[in-house]
Structures are given as structure tokens and as C-alpha cells.
């Protein structure tokens, strides 16, 4: 159990410095906007004043706290299904309203609110224990950096789309004279190198390195988490067989990225940012990168706890927590639960052909679903929604593209099937170590 007074005394000073940094950023923003946008300058000054006030309270040892009801509501709402659906809905809203969200004032307001929520959340001992770990500090920074660079790219793309609608060339086409490598670029790189080095030194002095004792074969850590760059693969292992999540998917990711230049037949959008001219490519990449990779890293880092159970961000990580989870294959559902006749079992006396026929009959429902998904659905899409892509790409490139896309979509499908119905595999053939 945490002692609230001692804990707040420990985190009050770091929280105060975070509030002070946020106030400084708002003061800089207000100073830059005071001449051209006095209204925005006043708003940023108000944010700065609020952060200064909270910083003073934190330095005095009394940081503002999140209400208990709010933390309980967040923990109750952020189940695996709601969290995943919420992230999908957020991406859809941001894409549909990109004209609004790329505005500087909107983005700066969102940054202020996120910083305020982050500082308030640090007063919770369970949340602070997660984000303050040496392994997780760079992931917290990654969230803010990823948000900034995603917003920056979308902002430049929206600006180019507006220019294109007015008959103007992209902004990149109107850049001034080339910048010389020496001395202009070298000076900038040198300054950045010094700043990054200073930041790394400060980081190493302030944050304890996450070095542990030599591995003990007798003691298994709980939870046993992979490094952050493998957390996405570790999360996939919950929903797929190890050969698929650990071998097939990584190979498809690499080969799929390598195949993009050969599959792309759209001549527009080369050398400049755009969304309107490449909506399909933009959505596929953002969904695959943000939802199916970064999202899995965040889930594995912040929401997975002992026993690989799902915990809320403010929920204590109790090792004794037990989740009622049924882990059943589709064939067992069909034969045992729905038909009630028992699963067909291969008879060794029938030899290999007879055993294989029994296995295929047992898994016929799952195999039919996979055939319809990977063969029937692409054929239907080629004649309906994706007919233009089929004509432009040709048969071979279209089928490579659609199969890669369907494999990518299989991950969220399996996630929802596991979380909602407890369904582990659509096809389970342990006799030949084949599960999907």
C-alpha cells in the first residue's frame, strides 16, 4: 500500500517542474502571438497563469489531485474493447475533421490539456509507478513526439490540399534557393547534436537506468514484458500462434513495406505532403502504424500487468487478479457447444489420408471462413468498391495488395473475437502444429 503523504511529497517537486515547463511554453506562445493574434495570446497567457499557480502549489507540497470518481470511471471505461474501439473512433474523427484539428490553436489547446491531465495523473501512485519506470520514460516522450510529428505532417498535407484546390502548386515547389551544406546545414546539425547530447546526459543523471540483476532461472518476473520495440509482437502472441505472430507477421510487415513502391500506381503526391490525392494510402499507413503497432506498444506498456491481465491506468497491479477468460477454438464451439455431438477425432487406423480428411471435416467451418475472407472477399471488392484500383494496378499487384491488407485487418478481427467471445483460433489443427 502507498502512503499518500509520503508519495505526494516525493512527486510534488517533479510535478511542479512539469507545470513550470508548461507555463514557460505558453508564455513563449503568448509572446509570439501578441501582435498578430491578441486573442490567442490572451488565451495562452491564461493557460500560463493556471500552470504557474499549479506549479506554486506543487512546489509547496500540495499538487492538485485527480478526483477519485474520475479515476474509477476511467479504469471502468478503459476495457480492452472500449479502449480499442475508442482509438479507432479517434483516428476516424481526426481524419474526418483534419481541416479543424490541424489548426495551430486547436493543437496547442490539445497539448495544454494533455499536459494538464498528465500532471494531474502523476499524483496517482499507480499511474506514476508505470510512467516513471526507466523503461517507460522514453515511451511517454514518444507519445508526445509522435503526436507532434503526425500533426505536423497532416498540417502540411492539408495546406497543400488547399493550395491544390485553388490551382496553386504545393508549398514544397515554392521553396526558396537551395541551402548550402556548408556552413548553414552543418551549423544546424552541430547545434542539434550538442542539444541532444546535453539532453541525454541530463536524462542519464536524472533517470535511473533500468539495469537489473542477472537472470535467475528459478524466478520468473510477473509480468514478463519484452523490450518496448517488441511489445507489439508480444501483444500479437495473445491472439495468434507463435509461428504466425513471431515469424509470419514480421516477415509480412517487412516484405509489405518493401513492396509499396512496386504496388503504388498513383503518380500524385510524390515529393510533397498530401492527403486528398492519396487518401487510401494515407489511411492504410496511419491505421497500420498507429493502431496496429503504436497502439499495441501502449497497451503492453501501460495497460498490461501481472498475468498479462488488462488493468486501468489508475488501477493497482494486483498479482492475484483473476480474469474469467474462455479460450476456445471455433471448431470446438461448432461441434461441442452448438451441435453437441463432440468433435470428430482422427483415427490412427485410417492412415494419413483418413486422418487428414477427418481434420479437414472438423475444421471445415473455419477453413470456409478463411477461404471466403482471403479469396471471396477480394474478388467481390475487385468488382465493387476497389474496382478502380483493380483496373489501375492489374491482377497481380491488386491481389498482393489486398492480401497484405486483409492480413493486417485480421489482427483487430482476432482481437475482438478473443475479447468478446473468448475465441482463440478460427482453425486449430494441433496434429500438424497449425493454428490460425
Q: Is the pLDDT of residue 1 over 60?
A: no
Task: Report pLDDT digits (tens) over 376-406.
Answer: 999 999 999 989 889 999 999 999 999 999 9
Which domain range does residue 51 map to?
1-64
What band does 324 get if pLDDT is binned at 50, 70 and 90? Answer: low
Residue 218 has pLDDT above 90, yes or no: no
194 or 354: whose pLDDT is higher?
194
Burial classification of residue 390, based on how many CB atoms lie within 10 Å of its CB (0-12 exposed, 13-18 middle, 19 or more buried): buried
Average pLDDT over residues 288-306: 91
* Residue where a domain terminates, one of 46, 64, 82: 64
371 belongs to a structural domain: yes
**Cell digits for 299?**
497497451
Q: Which residues contact 307 (CB under 8 A, 6 or more apart)?
A: 222, 223, 319, 321, 322, 323
Task: Specify if 281 maps to a domain.
Answer: no
Return the pLDDT at 87.
Answer: 92
In the listed set 17, 34, 64, which residue is the last one of a domain according to the structure?
A: 64
User: Does a structural domain hold residue 130?
Assistant: no
Mean pLDDT of the chain: 89
Residue 321 burial by Cβ neighbours in a 10 Å radius (0-12, 13-18, 19+):
middle
Confidence of residue 325 (pLDDT cuts 50, 70, 90): low
Pick the last residue of a domain from 18, 35, 64.
64
Please check the confidence at residue 214 and state whether its pLDDT lies above 70: yes
Q: Can you give the C-alpha Rg of the chain in angstroms?
A: 26
**pLDDT single digits (tens) 118-175:** 999 999 999 998 998 888 888 998 999 999 999 999 999 999 999 999 988 888 887 7
Q: Per the domain annotation, does 386 fall within a domain?
A: yes
- Number of domains into which the chain is organized: 2
Band of pLDDT at residue 105, cut at 50, 70 and 90: very high
Does the pLDDT at position 230 exceed 90?
Answer: no
Domain-located, residue 9: yes
Flag whether 312 is in a domain. Answer: no
Residue-wise pLDDT tens digits, 299-311: 999 998 888 888 9
Q: Per the domain annotation, does 5 fall within a domain?
A: yes
Domain membership flag for residue 398: yes
How sure is the predictor about 261, in pLDDT bands with cuts at 50, 70 and 90? confident
- Is the separation of the CB atoms in 126 and 317 below 8 Å? yes
Amino acid at each position: 500500500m502507498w502512503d499518500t503523504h509520503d508519495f505526494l511529497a516525493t512527486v510534488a517537486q517533479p510535478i511542479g517542474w512539469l507545470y513550470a515547463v508548461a507555463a514557460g511554453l505558453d508564455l513563449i506562445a503568448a509572446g509570439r502571438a501578441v501582435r498578430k493574434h491578441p486573442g490567442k495570446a490572451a488565451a495562452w497567457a491564461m493557460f500560463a497563469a493556471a500552470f504557474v499557480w499549479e506549479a506554486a502549489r506543487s512546489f509547496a507540497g500540495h499538487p492538485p489531485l485527480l478526483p477519485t470518481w474520475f479515476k474509477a470511471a476511467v479504469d471502468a471505461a478503459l476495457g480492452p474493447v472500449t479502449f480499442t474501439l475508442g482509438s479507432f473512433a479517434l483516428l476516424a474523427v481526426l481524419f474526418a475533421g483534419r481541416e479543424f484539428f490541424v489548426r495551430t490553436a486547436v493543437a496547442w489547446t490539445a497539448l495544454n490539456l494533455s499536459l494538464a491531465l498528465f500532471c494531474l495523473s502523476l499524483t496517482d501512485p499507480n499511474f506514476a509507478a508505470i510512467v516513471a519506470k526507466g523503461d517507460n520514460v522514453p515511451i511517454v516522450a514518444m507519445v508526445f513526439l509522435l503526436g507532434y510529428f503526425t500533426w505536423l505532417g497532416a498540417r502540411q498535407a492539408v495546406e497543400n490540399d488547399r493550395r491544390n484546390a485553388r490551382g496553386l502548386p504545393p508549398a514544397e515547389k515554392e521553396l526558396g534557393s537551395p541551402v548550402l551544406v556548408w556552413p548553414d546545414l552543418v551549423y544546424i546539425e552541430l547545434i542539434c547534436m550538442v542539444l541532444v547530447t546535453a539532453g541525454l546526459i541530463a536524462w542519464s543523471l536524472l533517470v535511473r537506468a533500468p539495469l537489473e540483476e542477472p537472470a535467475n532461472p528459478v524466478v520468473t518476473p510477473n509480468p514478463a514484458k519484452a523490450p518496448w520495440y517488441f511489445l507489439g509482437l508480444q501483444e500479437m502472441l495473445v491472439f495468434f500462434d507463435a509461428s504466425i505472430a513471431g515469424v509470419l507477421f514480421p516477415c509480412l510487415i517487412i516484405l509489405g513495406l518493401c513492396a509499396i513502391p512496386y504496388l503504388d500506381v498513383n503518380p500524385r503526391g510524390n515529393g510533397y505532403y498530401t492527403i486528398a490525392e492519396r487518401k487510401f494510402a494515407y489511411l492504410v499507413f496511419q491505421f497500420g502504424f498507429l493502431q496496429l503497432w503504436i497502439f499495441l506498444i501502449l497497451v503492453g506498456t501501460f495497460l498490461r500487468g501481472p498475468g498479462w491481465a488488462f488493468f486501468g491506468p489508475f488501477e493497482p497491479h494486483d498479482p492475484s487478479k483473476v480474469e474469467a477468460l474462455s479460450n476456445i477454438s471455433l471448431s470446438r464451439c461448432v461441434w461441442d457447444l452448438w451441435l453437441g455431438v463432440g468433435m470428430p477425432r482422427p483415427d490412427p487406423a485410417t492412415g494419413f489420408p483418413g486422418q487428414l480428411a477427418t481434420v479437414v471435416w472438423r475444421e471445415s467451418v473455419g477453413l470456409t471462413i478463411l477461404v471466403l475472407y482471403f479469396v471471396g472477399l477480394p474478388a467481390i471488392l475487385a468488382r465493387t468498391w476497389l474496382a478502380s484500383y483493380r483496373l489501375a494496378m492489374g491482377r497481380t499487384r491488386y491481389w498482393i495488395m489486398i492480401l497484405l491488407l486483409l492480413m493486417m485487418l485480421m489482427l483487430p478481427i482476432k482481437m475482438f473475437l478473443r475479447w468478446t467471445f473468448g475465441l482463440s483460433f478460427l482453425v486449430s489443427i494441433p496434429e500438424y502444429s497449425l493454428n490460425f
